[in-house]
Amino acid sequence: MSPRAPGPPVLEVEELSLELGIRGRWVQALDRVNLRIERGEALGLVGESGSGKSLTALSVPGLLPANARVTNGAIRVMGEHVLGRSERELASLRARSVAFVFQNPNTYLNPVLTVGRQIAEIFERSPELLDTTGRAAALSRLERRRRARHKSIEYLRLVRIPDPDRIVDQYPFALSGGMQQRVVIAMALARRPHLVIADEITTALDVTVQAQILGLLAELRRQIDMTLLLITHDLGIVAQLADRVAVMYSGRVVESADVRRLFRAPRHPYSRALLLAVPTLHGDRTVFRPIPGSMPAITDPPGGCRFHPRCPEVFGPCAAARPGVATVEDGHTVACHLYGGEG
């Protein structure tokens, strides 16, 4: 692992609370979420559907749905505040600092433009990316287009697309899901963002293609020191790629730790149960250890700790009080009454 470069953390989410307007009521969707990603680090945000991981991710570049409102907290990207910014400032933020890669590449790509044009557009809109000597504005339009195309091919090569000189002129429908996802990653990287947010980017892909994309992401991290916020429900992917992990349940970060610590010694009962519920391929024939019950709907959450109705270690305070966050070791926090904690 490369030594951490100095500078502010790329992403800081502090006590973020968010409410969603559902059927005329405001319900709490995120409850004082705290995240932190240093430069060059990969944070895995893990949770099942309904845990709030996608909402958390969407709030960083300001892509929240219309019925969402932030009630507390701050988000800082490279030290700059994000919440409360105007749409124009956020658009600039998205163009420069934060790149978001979605799950379905074919809904993200414009079907009537070639792949090369779509990447080139990024350079044409931000010509300073083409020319680091600062004379970008002086280039003629023709020259800019030529260079943009050249850069597009370069980025296609970066994401390991075979035969990039030919692919650059293809339309998205001619490409497979895996290739499309690589193109979208290339588009994200072309902006030279400080942070790349990948939201379930391999869920829609076949497993052999997923392996290729995961390999690509690992290589990119090494090659260009990419900072990554990886959102997934798959613990295997997290173990592969992430340096640190944050586990979310029903709108809260219930545990946050170094990836090895989390898998070796998970503290929160939900993290433990989740790890046990995943059948693994190596080792003996698996026994199923399901977690009884299901994640509560955000419109009707249980009182106290939201996990308590399903928790095998539930005791006294769990039903009544919301657990605070405790630091069990350096860099390892848990939100559970078993460990005390405040906040």
Partner 1 sequence: MAALLVARLYEVAGQLRQAWLAAAGGLVFLAILATGLAAPALIPASVVRDVKFAAKLAPPSAAHWFGTDDFGRDLFSLVLLATHLDLRAALTVVSAALVIGVGLGALAGFVKGLDEPLMRITDVFLSIPSLVLAMAIASVLGRSLENLSLALVFVSWPIYCRLMRGQVLSEKEKPYVRALRSLGVGRVRMIVRHIIPNTVFPVIARAPADVGLILITLAALSYIGFGPGPYVPEWGSLVAAGQAYIFQAPWLVLFPGGAIFLTSLSLNLVGDWARDVFDPRLRS
Partner 2 sequence: MTVPLLEVQDLVKHFPVGGGLLARRRGLVRAVDGVSFQVPAGRTFGLVGESGCGKSTVAMLLLKLLEPTAGRIAFDGRDVAGARGAALRDFRRRVQIVFQDPYGSLDPRQTIVSALTEPLSTLGVVAGRARAVERARESIALMGLDPEVLGRLPHELSGGQRQRIVIARALAVAPQLLVLDEPTASVDVSLQAQILSRLEELKGAQGLTYLLISHNLVVVRSMSDRVAVMYLGRLVEVAAADELFTTPLHPYAAALIQAIPVPDPDAPRVAALARGDVPSPVRIPAGCRYHPRCPYAERVCRDTEPPLATVRPGHLAACHFPGVASRATG
Applying CB under 8 A, which residues contact partner 2? 48-49, 162, 176-179, 206-212, 214-215, 218, 233-240, 259-260, 263, 273-275, 277-282, 285-286, 288-292, 294-295
- 71 lies in the site for partner 1, by CB under 8 A: no
* Total residues interacting with partner 1, rule: CB under 8 A: 4
What is the smallest separation between the CB atom of 301 and partner 2, expressed in angstroms? 15
| Closest separation in Å from C-beta 24 to partner 1 | 5
Choice between 142 and 287, CB closer to partner 2: 287
Residue closer to partner 1, measured from CB, 67 or 223 = 67
- Residue 4 touches which member of partner 2, partner 1, none, C-beta under 5-8 Å by kind: none
The answer to whether the CB of 252 falls within 8 A of the CB of 270 is: no
Amino acid sitting at position 265: A
H/E stretch holding 125 reads helix 115-125
Q: Is 67 in the site for partner 1 (CB under 8 A)?
A: yes
Segment interacting with partner 1, rule: CB under 8 A, options 20-28, 145-153, 262-270, 277-285: 20-28
3-state secondary structure 163-230: CHHHHCCCCHHHCCHHHHHHHHHHHHHHCCCCEEEEECCCCCCCHHHHHHHHHHHHHHHHHHCCCEEE
Distance (Å, rounded) from C-alpha 247 to C-alpha 156? 33
Q: What's the token pair of residue 276?
A: 């046990």
79/236 with CB nearer partner 2: 236
Report d(CA 110, CA 227) in Å as an integer. 26
Tokens representing 50? 């309904």
Residue (67 or 203) nearer to partner 1, CB: 67
| Residue 33 Cβ vs partner 2, minimum distance, rounded to whole Å | 20
Among 7, 26, 173, 297, binds partner 1 (CB under 8 A): 26
Among 4, 15, 21, 176, binds partner 1 (CB under 8 A): 21
Binding part of the chain for partner 1, among 18-26, 57-65, 80-88, 323-331 by CB under 8 A, reads 18-26
Q: Residue 24: name its binding partner from partner 1, partner 2, none (Cβ under 5 to 8 Å by kind).
A: partner 1
Measured CA to CA, the distance from residue 182 to residue 176 in angstroms comes to 10
* Binder among 3, 6, 24, 111 for partner 1 (CB under 8 A): 24
* Cβ–Cβ < 8 Å for 252, 319: no
Core vs surface per residue 123-139: b (16+ CB within 10 A) or e: bbebbebbbeeeebeee
297 binds partner 1 (CB under 8 A): no
Q: What is the token pair recorded at 145?
A: 């287009």
User: Do 187 and 119 form a contact (C-beta atoms < 8 A)?
Assistant: yes
Under the rule (CB under 8 A), what is the footprint of partner 1? Answer: 21, 24, 26, 67
